[in-house]
Protein backbone atom coordinates (compact mmCIF):
# COMPACT_ATOMS: atom_id res chain seq x y z
CA UNK A 1 0.00 0.00 0.00
CA UNK A 2 1.22 3.49 -0.86
CA UNK A 3 2.54 5.53 2.05
CA UNK A 4 0.70 8.67 3.12
CA UNK A 5 3.59 10.65 1.65
CA UNK A 6 3.21 8.93 -1.73
CA UNK A 7 -0.46 9.93 -1.58
CA UNK A 8 0.69 13.53 -0.96
CA UNK A 9 3.08 13.31 -3.94
CA UNK A 10 0.22 12.00 -6.10
CA UNK A 11 -2.08 14.80 -4.96
CA UNK A 12 -4.50 12.38 -3.29
CA UNK A 13 -3.90 14.08 0.08
CA UNK A 14 -3.34 17.86 0.28
CA UNK A 15 -0.23 19.48 1.70
CA UNK A 16 1.26 22.95 2.10
CA UNK A 17 4.05 22.65 -0.45
CA UNK A 18 7.31 24.49 0.14
CA UNK A 19 9.52 23.19 -2.69
CA UNK A 20 9.51 20.56 -5.41
CA UNK A 21 11.91 19.11 -7.95
CA UNK A 22 11.57 16.12 -10.27
CA UNK A 23 12.79 13.83 -7.48
CA UNK A 24 11.98 15.55 -4.17
CA UNK A 25 9.17 17.34 -2.35
CA UNK A 26 9.12 19.55 0.75
CA UNK A 27 5.96 20.44 2.65
CA UNK A 28 4.98 21.71 6.10
CA UNK A 29 4.52 19.09 8.81
CA UNK A 30 0.84 18.83 9.75
CA UNK A 31 1.74 18.67 13.46
CA UNK A 32 4.81 20.92 13.77
CA UNK A 33 7.24 20.63 16.67
CA UNK A 34 7.97 24.32 16.01
CA UNK A 35 6.44 26.78 13.55
CA UNK A 36 8.07 26.22 10.15
CA UNK A 37 8.70 22.47 10.71
CA UNK A 38 9.10 21.08 7.21
CA UNK A 39 9.45 17.57 5.80
CA UNK A 40 11.68 16.77 2.82
CA UNK A 41 11.00 13.52 1.02
CA UNK A 42 12.20 11.64 -2.05
CA UNK A 43 9.41 10.89 -4.52
CA UNK A 44 10.76 7.36 -4.69
CA UNK A 45 9.07 5.49 -1.83
CA UNK A 46 11.66 3.77 0.37
CA UNK A 47 11.04 3.26 4.09
CA UNK A 48 14.45 3.80 5.69
CA UNK A 49 16.74 6.74 4.95
CA UNK A 50 19.89 4.66 4.79
CA UNK A 51 18.28 2.20 2.38
CA UNK A 52 18.03 4.95 -0.26
CA UNK A 53 20.43 4.52 -3.15
CA UNK A 54 23.40 6.83 -2.78
CA UNK A 55 22.32 9.31 -5.48
CA UNK A 56 18.86 9.69 -3.97
CA UNK A 57 20.30 10.00 -0.46
CA UNK A 58 22.79 12.69 -1.52
CA UNK A 59 20.10 14.43 -3.57
CA UNK A 60 17.72 14.46 -0.60
CA UNK A 61 20.39 15.99 1.66
CA UNK A 62 21.26 18.64 -0.92
CA UNK A 63 17.55 19.43 -1.44
CA UNK A 64 17.03 19.60 2.36
CA UNK A 65 19.91 22.05 2.68
CA UNK A 66 18.35 24.37 0.10
CA UNK A 67 14.99 24.15 1.84
CA UNK A 68 16.61 24.88 5.23
CA UNK A 69 18.28 28.00 3.83
CA UNK A 70 14.89 29.18 2.54
CA UNK A 71 13.26 28.47 5.93
CA UNK A 72 15.96 30.52 7.69
CA UNK A 73 15.14 33.50 5.50
CA UNK A 74 11.49 33.41 6.57
CA UNK A 75 11.24 31.96 10.08
CA UNK A 76 13.00 33.70 12.93
CA UNK A 77 15.18 31.09 14.66
CA UNK A 78 18.67 30.44 15.95
CA UNK A 79 19.13 27.68 13.34
CA UNK A 80 17.33 24.86 11.58
CA UNK A 81 17.58 21.53 13.43
CA UNK A 82 17.54 18.26 11.51
CA UNK A 83 15.99 14.95 12.56
CA UNK A 84 15.30 11.64 10.92
CA UNK A 85 12.87 9.34 12.73
CA UNK A 86 10.46 7.48 10.46
CA UNK A 87 8.58 5.57 13.16
CA UNK A 88 5.22 7.01 12.10
CA UNK A 89 5.49 7.20 8.31
CA UNK A 90 7.51 4.47 6.54
CA UNK A 91 8.67 6.73 3.72
CA UNK A 92 12.15 8.24 4.18
CA UNK A 93 12.00 11.90 5.21
CA UNK A 94 14.12 14.62 6.76
CA UNK A 95 12.55 16.83 9.44
CA UNK A 96 13.74 20.47 9.26
CA UNK A 97 12.80 22.26 12.46
CA UNK A 98 13.50 25.95 13.16
CA UNK A 99 14.85 26.03 16.71
CA UNK A 100 15.90 28.41 19.45
CA UNK A 101 16.26 25.71 22.11
CA UNK A 102 16.27 21.92 22.42
CA UNK A 103 12.60 21.95 23.46
CA UNK A 104 11.71 23.12 19.93
CA UNK A 105 12.89 19.69 18.68
CA UNK A 106 10.39 17.91 20.95
CA UNK A 107 8.02 15.69 18.96
CA UNK A 108 5.44 16.07 21.72
CA UNK A 109 4.99 19.75 20.78
CA UNK A 110 2.07 20.81 18.66
CA UNK A 111 2.62 24.23 17.15
CA UNK A 112 -0.12 23.91 14.52
CA UNK A 113 -1.97 27.06 13.46
CA UNK A 114 -4.83 27.76 11.07
CA UNK A 115 -4.80 26.42 7.49
CA UNK A 116 -4.59 30.04 6.34
CA UNK A 117 -1.38 30.55 8.34
CA UNK A 118 0.09 27.26 7.06
CA UNK A 119 -0.67 28.32 3.47
CA UNK A 120 0.87 31.78 3.95
CA UNK A 121 4.04 30.34 5.52
CA UNK A 122 4.46 27.68 2.81
CA UNK A 123 4.18 30.28 0.10
CA UNK A 124 6.69 32.60 1.82
CA UNK A 125 9.26 29.79 2.15
CA UNK A 126 8.56 28.67 -1.44
CA UNK A 127 9.35 32.19 -2.66
CA UNK A 128 12.83 31.93 -1.06
CA UNK A 129 13.64 28.46 -2.46
P1 LIG B 1 8.14 10.15 11.75
O2 LIG B 1 7.68 9.11 10.74
O3 LIG B 1 9.48 10.75 11.39
O4 LIG B 1 8.10 9.61 13.16
O5 LIG B 1 7.08 11.33 11.74
C6 LIG B 1 6.24 11.58 10.65
C7 LIG B 1 5.89 13.06 10.60
O8 LIG B 1 4.96 13.24 9.54
C9 LIG B 1 5.23 13.62 11.87
O10 LIG B 1 5.94 14.77 12.30
C11 LIG B 1 3.80 13.94 11.44
O12 LIG B 1 3.28 15.10 12.07
C13 LIG B 1 3.94 14.12 9.94
N14 LIG B 1 2.75 13.74 9.20
C15 LIG B 1 2.05 12.58 9.32
N16 LIG B 1 1.02 12.55 8.44
C17 LIG B 1 1.08 13.72 7.76
C18 LIG B 1 0.26 14.27 6.71
O19 LIG B 1 -0.71 13.70 6.23
N20 LIG B 1 0.62 15.51 6.25
C21 LIG B 1 1.69 16.18 6.75
N22 LIG B 1 1.95 17.39 6.23
N23 LIG B 1 2.49 15.69 7.73
C24 LIG B 1 2.17 14.47 8.23
Q: What is the pLDDT of residues 57-80, one digit of tens each?
A: 999 999 999 999 999 999 999 999
Please say if 93 is a catalytic residue. yes
Average pLDDT over residues 111-128: 98
- pLDDT in the model for residue 127: 98
Distance of alpha carbon 81 from alpha carbon 85, whole angstroms:
13
pTM over 0.85: yes
Give yes or no for residue 41 CB within 6 A of ligand 1: no
Range of the domain at 81: 4-126
Give yes or no for residue 102 CB within 6 A of ligand 1: no
- Total number of domains in the chain: 1
Average pLDDT over residues 15-37: 98
Domain at 74, CATH number: 3.30.428.10
| C-alpha dihedral sign at 74, 77, 78, 82 | negative
Using the mean position of ligand 1's atoms as its centre, give its distance from the Cα of residue 5 in Å: 8
Closest ligand 1 atom to Cα of 16: 22
Q: How many CB atoms lie within 10 A of CB 65?
A: 15
Give yes or no for residue 61 CB within 6 A of ligand 1: no
Amino acid sequence: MASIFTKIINGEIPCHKVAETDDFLAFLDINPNAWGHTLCIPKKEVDRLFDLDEDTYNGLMSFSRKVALAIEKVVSCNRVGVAVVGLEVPHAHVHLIPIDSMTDMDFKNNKARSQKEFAALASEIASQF
